Amino acid sequence: MTGFLTLLYKELLRFWKVGFQTVFAPVVSTLLYLMIFSHVLEDHVQAYPGVPYTVFLAPGLVMMAMLQNAFANSSSSLIQSKVSGNLVFILLSPLSYTDIFLAYVLASVIRGLAVGLGVYGVTVAFFDIPVHSPLWILAFALMGSAFLGSLGIIAGIWAEKFDQLAAFQNFVILPLTFLSGVFYTIKSLPAFWQGLSHLNPFFYMIDGFRYGFFKASDVSPFLSLGIVAAAFLAVSWLTLRMLRSGYKIRH
Per residue in 68-104, pLDDT tens?
A: 999 999 999 999 998 888 888 888 888 899 999 999 9
- For the chain, how many helices (H) and strands (E)? 12, 0
Mean pLDDT of the region 28-55? 76
Mean pLDDT of the region 24-40? 82
Q: Which pLDDT band, with edges at 50, 70 and 90, does 42 fall under?
A: low
CB 246 within 8 A of CB 164: no
> What integer pLDDT is reported at residue 246 of this predicted model?
86
Please state, in angstroms and rounded to a whole number, the distance separating the CA atoms of residues 177 and 63: 10
> What integer pLDDT is reported at residue 141 of this predicted model?
97
> What integer pLDDT is reported at residue 94 of this predicted model?
86
Q: Does the structure show a pLDDT above 80 at 49?
A: no
Please state, in angstroms and rounded to a whole number, the distance separating the CA atoms of residues 31 and 5: 33
Residue of 107 and 190 predicted with greater confidence: 107
Q: Which pLDDT band, with edges at 50, 70 and 90, does 41 fall under?
A: low
CB-based burial label for 70 (10 Å; 0-12, 13-18, 19+): buried
Q: Does the structure show a pLDDT above 70 at 21?
A: yes
> What integer pLDDT is reported at residue 46 of this predicted model?
66
Q: Does the structure show a pLDDT above 90 at 114?
A: yes
> What integer pLDDT is reported at residue 91 of this predicted model?
83
What residue type is 9 in one-letter code? Answer: Y
CB 50 within 8 A of CB 76: no
Please state, in angstroms and rounded to a whole number, the distance separating the CA atoms of residues 251 and 114: 36
Neighbour tally for 36: CB within 10 Å: 10
What is the value of pTM for the model shown? 0.92
Share above pLDDT 90 across residues of the chain, in percent, rounded to a whole number: 57
Q: Does the structure show a pLDDT above 70 at 43?
A: no
Query: For the chain, what's the residue count?
Result: 251
Q: Which pLDDT band, with edges at 50, 70 and 90, does 55 fall under?
A: confident
Return mean pLDDT, the chain: 89
139 φ/ψ angles, rounded to the nearest 5 degrees: -60, -45
Q: Which pLDDT band, with edges at 50, 70 and 90, does 250 fall under?
A: confident
Residue of 42 and 164 predicted with greater confidence: 164
Q: Does the structure show a pLDDT above 70 at 117?
A: yes
Residue of 191 and 221 predicted with greater confidence: 221
132 φ/ψ angles, rounded to the nearest 5 degrees: -85, -50
